[in-house]
Structure 1
C-alpha cells in the first residue's frame, strides 16, 4: 500500500474531524484555574490520545499518519502529498508577510489569529525558523511579535525580521549579526536621492497631503501613509496624490545629480490596464484638454514617465491625477531611476525605496544569519514586494509560494502557475497546515520532534 492509499484509508476509516477538534481544543484552550475547566481539558487530552492511538495501531507508520490527520483535513493532506511528489523536500524556513497575510483587517480585526500564532510557535519548536518579512518599521514588528509569540521565542535565535521591505534585518540572539543595516552598503547617489526626498517630503508637500498623510517612522525608506481609513475612498485619493508628489521629489533629486536638460511633456498614460491596476472605478484624465495637465519641472516629468512605464499602478495614479509626463527619458536619468523604486499600494501607502533593498535580498540575508545554507522556504505574501521574494525562491529551486485570495493579480498569477497554494483571507493557518503535513511526510526529524512533544503531554 503506497502513501496515497494509506492517507485515503486514514480519512475514510477514522473520524479525523473529531481528532482535529480535540487537537485544536488542547492546543488553544486558554489557561484557566477553574477545576471544571481543567477537567474538561484533561478529558479532551485523553480523547485526543485515544483517537491518535487508533490510527497508530492500524499502520506501520501510524505515528506519522496520525500526526498529519490531527492537523490537516483530507484536501490539505493530499495537497501536501502532491508537494512531496513534486519537490521531495521539507520546508526549512517560513518567510511570512504580515499585513493582509498573517492578519487581515477585513476578517480578523487586524490581529493574527490564535491558531496561526500557535502553529508558528510549533514550527519553531520543531526546528523550522521564521523570517517575518514586512514593509513595517522594526519597532512595530517587534512589538506585535513579542505580544503574539512571546519574548522567549522571539529572542530564541530562530526568528528573523526583514523590515521596511528589505532595508534591514533583525535576528535576536546572533551577536554582531543581530542587526544588519543593508542600506549602509548602497551607492552614494541612490542613497542620496532617498535622503533628499525624506528631508522634503512633508515640508514641500501641498496642504492636502500634509493634512491627509503622515510619514511612517522608517529607518530608511520613505513611506506616506493615509490619515484616513485604509482602503477607503479618501485614503485612495490622498495616496494617489502622494505617489505623484513622491515622483516629483525623486525627479528633482535625480536632476541634481545627472543632466536632464529640457524635456517635452505629454499626457499621462490612461490605458484600461493602468486604471484597473488600482481598482479605480472613475474616469482617468484623457489628456485631450491641455489645461487639465500640470507643468512639472523637467526632472519630475522624467521620473513620472519612467515609473509610469515600469508600474501600471503608478500609471493609473498619474492618469487619474492628470499629471503630465516626459515624452522621453534621458539615458543618464534612466540609469539612476532604475536603481530606485516608487510604489503605490492602493489606498494604503506611497513609498520610495531602493531596488537593491527588497524583500528577496532581505530574505537572503536573514537565511545567512540563521545559518540555512540550502534553503527550501515557503514564501507567503500578498503584494509586489512579496512577489520578488517568491521569484527569488523559484529561480533557485529554493521554495514554494503561497498567497491569500485577495493578493495582487501579479502575485496570484505566480502562485497559480506554480502550486496553486491560495488560501482564504485571514486563514493563513490553512496554508501552515499544508506545510505541516508536507514536513511530516518528508522530514523524520520534524516528526521526531512531534513525538517528543507528545511524550511531554502524556
Structure 2
C-alpha cells in the first residue's frame, strides 16, 4: 500500500476532525484557575490520547507519525504535504517568515499574530526547527512581540534568528560574537554617507504635510516614512504617495552632495526609479509628478549610485530607501550561517517584493518552497502560483504552517 493509500485510509476510517478539535482544545486551553475547567481539560487530554492510540494500533509501521498528522492537519493539508514531499523529496528544515500581512494582518487579525499561529511556531521549535523571522521592522519591535508571543526562553534560545530592516542586520541570541551582525557596516563610505544625509534631512526639510502626516521608523540604517494614519486608509495613501516623491528628490540631492555637484532635484531619481518599478511610476503619474528627464540623460555618476540604492513603495503603508546590496536574501544567508544550516530547505512565507527576492533565491537554489497570503503583491502571487501554488487566506498563516508540519513529519518516514 503506497503513501497516498495510507493517507486515504487514515482520513476515511478515523474521525480526524474530532481528533483535531481535542488537540486544539488541549493546546490552546487558556490558563483558568477553575477545578471544573481543569477537569474538563484533563478529560479532553485523555480522550485525545485514546484516539491517537487507535491510530497507532491501526498503522503499526507509521502510527506515531499518522497520529500526529491526524491531530494537526486536515485531509487537504496532509495531501498537500504529501504532494510537496513527493515533488521535492525533502522536508522543510527551517522557517523563513515575514511578519506584517503574513503572520499577522491588519485585515482580519487585529494586527496581532493569532494564538494558533504562535502555538504552531512553538511546536516547530520544540521539535528542533530553526526559525528565521525576516521583516522590514526594527529589531526592537520584533524582539518585543517575539518575547510577548513566544516567550523569553524561545526568543533567546539560539534557534530563532531575526533578519530586520529587510536585511540590514541579523540578530541571533546565544551565538557570541555573531549574535548581532550589522551588515550595513560593510557598505562603502560613499553609500553610508548618502544615507546619513538623507536621514538627517528627511523630516526637518520635509513639507509640513509630510512632517505632520508621517513619522520616521526607528531604523538603524534604512530610511522609512510611515503614515500617522491607519495603514491602508485613504489618508495614509495620500501622505505616503507624497512622501515617496519627496524621498526621491531628497535622495537625488544627497547623491549630488556626495558627488560634489549642485544639489538640485532635477527629476533624475524620479526617472530612474519610475523605470525600475511600475508602482513608483504609477504614483508619479497619478500625482502629476512624472519627470521630464530621459533615462539616457542621467549622468553616469548618478546612475551608478542609484543602481546600488533601493527605493521601495508600499501602498498606504510606507516609502523607504534601502541598499540593494543589503536585502532579505543577504540577511537570510547570514542567519542560516549563524544557525549552522548548510543545506537549507526552507518554507518562505511573505507578501511583498522584498520577500519575493527570498522566494526567487530558494527557487534558483532548490532550497525550499514559497507561500503567500491571497492579498500579496501581484508579482509575489504570480511567483507562488508558478511554483507550488501555496496561497493561503489572509490572516491564516496557520494553514500553511500545518502543511509544512505534515510535510516535515512525512519526510521522516520515507
TM-score by length of structure 2 reads 0.97
Partner of 2:367: 398
Partner of 1:316: 282
Contact 2:230-2:236 at 8 Å conserved across structures? yes
Contact 2:214-2:227 at 8 Å conserved across structures? yes
Q: Does 1:84 align with 2:109?
A: no
Contact 1:248-1:301 at 8 Å conserved across structures? yes
Partner of 1:223: 224
* Cα distance in 2 for residues equivalent to 1:86 and 1:392: 18
Q: What does the per-residue CA deviation read over 1:141-167, in whole Å, with 9 as the maximum and x for residues that have no partner?
A: 110100000001101100100010111
How far did residue 299 of structure 1 move?
Answer: 4.8
Partner of 2:127: 126
* Cα distance in 2 for residues equivalent to 1:158 and 1:168: 17
Q: What does the per-residue CA deviation read over 1:186-242, in whole Å, with 9 as the maximum and x for residues that have no partner?
A: 012222111110010011111110111111111100000011111011110100000
How far did residue 259 of structure 1 move?
Answer: 7.7
Q: Where do residues 313-352 of structure 1 align in structure 2 (5 Å cutoff)?
A: 313-325=279-291, 326-328=293-295, 329-352=298-321
How far did residue 321 of structure 1 move?
Answer: 2.0
* Cα distance in 2 for residues equivalent to 1:151 and 1:257: 44
How far did residue 300 of structure 1 move?
Answer: 4.3
Q: What does the per-residue CA deviation read over 1:48-67, in whole Å, with 9 as the maximum and x for residues that have no partner?
A: 11111111111121211111
Contact 1:209-1:241 at 8 Å conserved across structures? yes
How far did residue 393 of structure 1 move?
Answer: 1.1
- Structure 2 gaps of 5+ residues are none
Contact 1:56-1:65 at 8 Å conserved across structures? yes
Contact 2:193-2:258 at 8 Å conserved across structures? no
Q: What does the per-residue CA deviation read over 1:387-434, in whole Å, with 9 as the maximum and x for residues that have no partner?
A: 111111111111110000000010000100100110001110000000
Contact 1:259-1:332 at 8 Å conserved across structures? no
Partner of 1:281: none
Structure 1 ranges of 4+ moved more than 6 A: none
* Cα distance in 2 for residues equivalent to 1:312 and 1:15: 50
Contact 2:281-2:290 at 8 Å conserved across structures? no
SS in 1 for 2:133: strand
Contact 1:249-1:300 at 8 Å conserved across structures? no
Partner of 1:432: 401
* Cα distance in 1 for residues equivalent to 2:266 and 2:136: 26
Q: Does 1:93 align with 2:62?
A: no
**How many residues get paired?**
410
SS in 2 for 1:144: helix
Structure 1 residues 413 and 46: CA distance shift in structure 2, 3 A: same
Contact 1:415-1:421 at 8 Å conserved across structures? yes
SS in 1 for 2:320: strand
Query: Mean Cα displacement is larger for which, 59-68 or 112-121?
Result: 59-68
Contact 1:172-1:178 at 8 Å conserved across structures? yes
Partner of 1:8: 8
Partner of 1:158: 159
Q: What does the per-residue CA deviation read over 1:90-134, in whole Å, with 9 as the maximum and x for residues that have no partner?
A: 111100000110011111111101010010011011111110011
* Cα distance in 1 for residues equivalent to 2:286 and 2:12: 56
* Cα distance in 2 for residues equivalent to 1:165 and 1:217: 13
How far did residue 298 of structure 1 move?
Answer: 5.6
Partner of 2:233: 232
* Cα distance in 1 for residues equivalent to 2:284 and 2:232: 19
* Cα distance in 2 for residues equivalent to 1:298 and 1:187: 24
- Structure 1 gaps of 5+ residues are 262-296, 448-458
Partner of 2:187: 186
Partner of 2:249: 248
Q: How large is the Cα RMSD of the aligned pairs?
A: 1.4
SS in 1 for 2:167: coil
